[in-house]
């Protein structure tokens, strides 16, 4: 295991957001959705490509609150620019289970 410092951790901007739109992403190499996530007035809406098709459908994701890293540089995936990384846990089959607060919190709240 490689250790990081507290300063390293503080450089990662992890926030809560609510998925407001989710669509199939047929041009992705692996099955994925295009997500549009509202991170509140300070950050706004960011897009993300997420390989979460095993346990979720687009309709399951609408209005679901998630946790994401919002300060990665944008990354082009096929014809889509992904602007944040939605966080999840890999299960025994290497499928993603989303991380989310157990109570609703305002969009844009910082994880620490």
Tell me the per-residue pLDDT of 23-43, one tens digit each, with 9 for 90 and over: 999 999 999 999 999 999 999
pTM of the model: 0.94
Residue 86: the pLDDT is 98
pLDDT in tens, 75-111: 999 999 999 999 999 999 999 999 999 999 999 999 9
Res. 13 pLDDT band, cuts 50 70 90: very high
Backbone angles phi, psi at 10, to 5 degrees: -65, -20
Q: For the chain, give every domain's residue range.
A: 12-98
Classify domain 12-98 at the CATH class level. mainly beta
Residue 112: the pLDDT is 84
In angstroms, the CA 84 to CA 41 distance is 16
Q: Which helix (H) or strand (E) holds 60?
A: helix 58-61
């Amino acid at each position: 295991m490689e250790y990081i410092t507290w300063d390293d951790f503080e450089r990662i901007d992890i926030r809560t957001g609510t998925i407001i739109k989710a669509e199939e992403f047929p041009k992705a190499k692996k099955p994925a959705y295009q997500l549009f996530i509202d991170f509140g007035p300070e950050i706004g809406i960011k897009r993300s490509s997420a390989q979460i098709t095993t346990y979720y459908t687009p309709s399951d994701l609408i209005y679901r609150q998630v946790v994401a890293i919002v300060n990665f540089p944008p990354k082009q995936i096929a014809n889509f620019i992904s602007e944040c990384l939605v966080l999840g846990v890999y299960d025994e089959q290497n499928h993603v289970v989303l991380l989310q607060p157990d109570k609703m919190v305002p969009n844009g709240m910082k994880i620490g």
